[in-house]
Amino acid sequence: MKLDKLMKNRKLLLILILILAIGLRFYNITEIGIDQWDEGEYLDAAESFLEGKWQWLGIGLKPLHNAGLVMGILLFGNYDYSGFIVTAALGVLTVLIVYFLGKEFFDEKTGLLAAFILAIMEYHIYFSRALFSDVTSTFFVSMTILLYFISVKKASKMFALLAGIFASLCFLVRINAIAVVFIILFAELIFAIRDKAFFDKKIFKERFARFLIIFSVVCVFCFSVFNAYLFFAPSNLVEVQFGINTGQAGLSLDYGTFYLEQLVILGSPILLLAFLLGVFKGFESRKNGDIILLIWSLSILIFFSLYGFKRYRIFMMALPAIAILASRGLFMLKNINFKKIGNKLFLVAVLLLAITSLYASYDTVASSSTAYRDAAEFVRLDGGQGVIVSQLGIFQYYSNEKPLPVVFFDNLNSSEIKLEKLYNEGYSHLILDYRALQYNELAHKIVNSFEPAKKIDNTATLFDPAIANPGLIEDFEEMRKNEIYHYVYVYRLADLMESI
């Protein structure tokens, strides 16, 4: 088939884009491994639910995300990759939703290119291959925006109702994903001002009714879920967290360009340039789709940039809008009429975007972080009776197979006297990694003075994008330079007790 015929076959192009998205998200999926605390807690909560035990569902109220992990375990077995299959599938579905968003907002070409951009974006690929709730919330936010926009185009109360239902589901995935309601509210206000709806009773009633439907559904749904949770959850679990765990964040201009830089580091320089062109095009055109995309992307970008809150994961919600605006920006190049240079610029830009994005994605797709899984397996085979760990969340899941009692190597347990007490209580192994070495002198003393029973390479984890929490990026840059942080160390407590 000739290239020009292929480019005209839009359905075939979409299928090829989805195949590419599937390949980049599912490749080597059984060897990804859990390397973050939260991931282990989510999967442990899902496993515990199937055992008839209700526990705190991850960090915060995220029952819908954990319900997906439960389905993964039911369908594919109690393995870590069962959860990865669920999040990877949601990542692929988000690529498809972005196609429909671009098509509804503008045209099919814009939707296809936007889907391609998201399919090859390392930023999105990474979180589609992780167990965090963010790829799930990104899917539901995108679906909510799609249904809302269709309700605007068709003046349909039914689609407004569906948008309200999906906005409510966003709340069940991740509390702060309810921000999608504010995106819709701001869009409605701008539409009303632009169309002078406040001076036209018919238009005002139509717009007000649409938003009232969405807002009412969200309020009733969220209020019902919240009260059901308070009623049914054991009293020790009623610790519902609203808003954002701000950590070290605060109003600051120090990190104003952080997220734009990440579009280059976890995407491509071409992606950033195309996005900025798309923003310019949006302000110039001011179509309904432009307005929604600008509010969606810029509100998240500006808020987290000014707030000094370095969280790759939360910013995920803006990526679909960024992909569509980047598609708009690239088509701006195509429309340059000067000496027919537009087509050439467009093709070169798309080619460079593809090459740089795929090159950046290689490490994410090819690497695996199975050090913690391997450490837990070693302890089981070594006759372990209980384990002291510096990554409690991860080992809450990986230690369940035997099962092994697990205790956190925190300041209360990280002394020679406490280790001896735990040893006398029957704990048999100690597992240390960068987390213990970062803060604890005893961990350094043990690693520097004693030969571990098992030493497992964990370099991939130190280059994990999710690891850069507020204020810690510089710390991890230093740790990457020191080989001592690159391993997971497994010790037999019996050996240590003889030496300490």
Helices (H), 233-268: 258-265
Task: For residue 362, count other CB atoms closer than 10 A to its CB.
Answer: 11
Between the alpha carbon of residue 288 and those of residues 101, 140, 189, 192, 279, the distances in Å are 12, 20, 12, 11, 14
Average pLDDT over residues 57-72: 76
Confidence of residue 6 (pLDDT cuts 50, 70, 90): low
> How high is the pLDDT of residue 243?
40
> How high is the pLDDT of residue 242?
40
> How high is the pLDDT of residue 324?
97
> How high is the pLDDT of residue 49?
82
Q: Is the pLDDT of residue 22 over 60?
A: yes
State pTM to two decimals: 0.88
Better-predicted residue by pLDDT, 215 or 487:
487
Q: Is 28 helix (H, G, I), strand (E, B) or coil?
A: coil
Confidence of residue 2 (pLDDT cuts 50, 70, 90): low
> How high is the pLDDT of residue 45?
85
Q: pLDDT digit string (tens) for 253-285?
A: 555 677 888 888 888 899 999 999 999 999 998
Decide if 126 contacts 465 (C-beta within 8 A): yes
Better-predicted residue by pLDDT, 222 or 230:
222
| Mean pLDDT of the chain, nearest integer | 83
Q: pLDDT digit string (tens) for 87-117?
A: 999 999 999 999 999 999 999 999 999 999 9
Residue 413's closest CA among 430, 399, 396?
430
Q: Greatest CA span in the chain, whole angstroms?
A: 84
Better-predicted residue by pLDDT, 126 or 414:
126
Average pLDDT over residues 1-19: 77
Confidence of residue 75 (pLDDT cuts 50, 70, 90): very high
Q: pLDDT digit string (tens) for 303-343?
A: 877 765 667 777 889 999 999 999 999 999 888 776 678 78
Q: pLDDT digit string (tens) for 36-54?
A: 888 888 888 888 888 777 6
Average pLDDT over residues 120-136: 92
> How high is the pLDDT of residue 251?
47
Average pLDDT over residues 240-254: 45
Amino acid letter for position 291: I
Residue 294's closest CA among 316, 262, 324, 252?
324
As a whole-number percent, the residues of the chain with pLDDT over 90 amount to: 33
> How high is the pLDDT of residue 225?
65
> How high is the pLDDT of residue 172?
84
Average pLDDT over residues 185-190: 88
Q: pLDDT digit string (tens) for 132-146?
A: 889 999 999 999 999
- Ranges 152-161, 366-375, 465-474: which has the least confidence: 465-474
Confidence of residue 63 (pLDDT cuts 50, 70, 90): confident
Q: Which of 155-159, 433-437, 452-456 has the highest mean pLDDT?
A: 452-456
> How high is the pLDDT of residue 56?
55
Radius of gyration of the chain (CA): 25
Q: Is 429 helix (H, G, I), strand (E, B) or coil?
A: strand
**Is the bond into 470 cis (omega within 30 degrees of 0)?**
no
Q: Which residue has the tokens 């509210």?
A: 185
Q: Is 457 helix (H, G, I), strand (E, B) or coil?
A: strand
Our CA angle for 133, 87, 135, nearest 5°, is 45
Between the alpha carbon of residue 59 and those of residues 43, 66, 132, 229, 339, the distances in Å are 12, 11, 10, 15, 56
Q: Is the pLDDT of residue 193 over 70?
A: yes
Confidence of residue 154 (pLDDT cuts 50, 70, 90): confident
> How high is the pLDDT of residue 125?
94
> How high is the pLDDT of residue 58?
42
